[in-house]
Amino acid sequence: MAAPILLCDTAGMTRKRWLECRMHGPDGKIPFTIGGSDVAAVFGVSPWTTPLELWRIKKGLMTPDDSINATAKEMGHLMEPVVAACYTMREGNPHIADTGLYRHAKYPYALANLDYRTEEDGRPGVLECKTTTWHNAEEWADGHIPYHYELQVRFYLAVMDLEFADIVCMWGFNPETEMAVRRIERNPVIEAEIFERLDQFIDSLHKNIPPTMADVKPAVAMASLARIYSNSQSGLPTIEFGPKQEKHLRQIAMLQTANDDLKNQIKKNEGDITAHSVQIAEMMRTHELGVLMTSVDKIIVNYVSKPTRRPDSKLLKEKYPVIYDEVLKTSYSRKIKVTVQPV
């Protein structure tokens, strides 16, 4: 083990300059780099970025999409000092600011820019601060740590040559009950596995071999592919598939047909519900609650008005056509549709 190499101090840097340093080092001489937030993407377990998307970003073929989870990321950044202070309040360990950009002593591509440092009984460590929403707090239950965060922190321990890290996640205002603190001790076996995988990714960049979407969650993969290839282009040649894709294509066609049948059934059910509701609504008039008591159960009826406020786009266009054009937002989506035709 060896101490990390301090590349530069990021305090006061513009975001553009900070990204440049993260991408190629402060002198621009590192061909490809990996930061803590990249590790989960390399492993295919990031909730936001796939290995292929990260690979293309590192190759300069596309720029990072800053709109992904943008509000949550900004709030997380703003909350870091609060989470760190709550950690010190609850655990008694300090939170020590460190704005350095560090490089691993052995792996020149591995860079770390920490949230904070900490120490316990004179033993230095890493402090990583996270925030989440209350309905995601269960990800931290029973001592659990989301795997993509564990990979990030273990990477930091390796770069910084430190033996422990505390990862803190807060989802409320009470540090005693709405904050999790998880200790991660350095593990050389897991660390070796991480850097073996990172070495392979860096090698794929040098050899110009892009990774696949294997093992990436389907929803994350589809969102990533939409960002990578953007909108469809008319006039391009038809893609011809081979036998390897037949199973997938037939499954898509079958499931799409099943969904259409379900939608038709739902539409019919809604019509029947409306027909049965007429007599009930006549009796309810302006009342909100009704009840039918039987020998075996109680049937409760709710008939409550729920206001909905949305812009009248037709009126807005008529009265303020310039404003209407200015606020229009064009969005695109692509969805696979498979049709099976007899030959």
In this prediction, residue 343 carries a pLDDT of: 87
178 and 250 together in one domain: no
Residue 295 falls inside a structural domain = no
Residue 254 falls inside a structural domain = yes
Residue 115 falls inside a structural domain = yes
Tell which of 191, 223, 255 closes a domain: 223
127 and 274 together in one domain: no
51 and 116 together in one domain: yes
Structure tokens at 127: 């402090």
String of DSSP letters for 131-195: E--GGGGGGGGGG---HHHHHHHHHHHHHHT-SEEEEEEE-SS-TTTSEEEEEEE--HHHHHHHH
How far apart (Å, rounded) are the C-alpha atoms in residues 79 and 63? 26
Residue 108 falls inside a structural domain = yes
CB 186 within 8 A of CB 150: no
46 and 156 together in one domain: yes
How far apart (Å, rounded) are the C-alpha atoms in residues 23 and 111? 9
94 and 191 together in one domain: yes
Residue 323 falls inside a structural domain = no
Residue 124 falls inside a structural domain = yes
Residue 218 falls inside a structural domain = yes
108 and 60 together in one domain: yes
Query: Residue 96: which H helix or E strand, with range?
Result: strand 96-97
How far apart (Å, rounded) are the C-alpha atoms in residues 327 and 298? 50
- Find the domain containing 256 and state its range: 242-280+337-343
Q: Is 34 helix (H, G, I), strand (E, B) or coil?
A: strand
By CB atoms closer than 10 A (0-12, 13-18, 19+), residue 116 is buried
Structure tokens at 103: 């490089």
Digit-by-digit pLDDT tens for the chain (343 residues) are 689 999 999 999 998 999 999 999 999 999 999 999 999 999 999 999 999 999 999 999 999 887 777 888 888 889 999 999 999 999 999 999 999 999 999 999 999 999 999 999 999 999 999 999 988 999 999 999 999 999 999 999 999 999 999 999 999 989 999 999 999 999 999 999 999 999 999 999 999 999 999 889 999 999 999 999 988 999 999 999 999 999 999 999 999 999 999 999 999 999 999 999 999 999 999 999 999 999 999 999 999 999 989 888 899 999 999 998 888 887 778 888 999 999 8
Phi-psi region of 128 (alpha: psi -120 to 50; beta: other; left: phi over 0): beta
Cβ of 142: how many Cβ atoms within 10 Å? 5
Return all residues near 244 (Cβ < 8 A) that are at least 6 apart: none
In this prediction, residue 65 carries a pLDDT of: 81
115 and 249 together in one domain: no
218 and 250 together in one domain: no
Q: What's the domain count of the chain?
A: 2
260 and 160 together in one domain: no
Residue 310 falls inside a structural domain = no
269 and 211 together in one domain: no
- With both helix axes pointing from N to C terminus, report the angle between 51-58 and 188-206 in degrees, rounded to the nearest 10: 60
In this prediction, residue 72 carries a pLDDT of: 85
User: Can you list the alpha helix ranges (DSSP code H) found in 50-135?
Assistant: 51-58, 70-91
247 and 214 together in one domain: no
125 and 256 together in one domain: no
Give the CATH number of the domain where residue 195 resides. 3.90.320.10
